[in-house]
Structure 1
């Protein structure tokens, strides 16, 4: 919890932002909500992907990760 307190003496880097605007939360599009803003979006992204394990403590619901995992 103490690590969450900002340090005023440490340089702060800007957070990466995805270009564009987030979707209207009252009308979330089907499939991936990042599709309109993702440079890797495919037609298939409008379908709901399954969760795929991408690390010991991480999962992803992205067709791009599913496609890459199937090619390995």
Structure 2
């Protein structure tokens, strides 16, 4: 299984929330804050890509549904 396939949206969101909480603590050093920020940005980019991919899949499904509306629905 590739990294992309094993990506779990909910787990990544939880990790990002933990990073935000750590960044909000006032006792973090500058170096630690930068490290956390970089990690957070990378996670946020993966989340954005995952959402974009999901949106594209939805658009394809909607388009396919609209183009196949002339065909009888086998479920109903």
TM-score, scaled relative to structure 2: 0.18
Q: Say which structure is richer in strand.
A: 1
Q: Say which structure is richer in helix.
A: 2
Return the index of the structure with the highest Cα Rg: 2
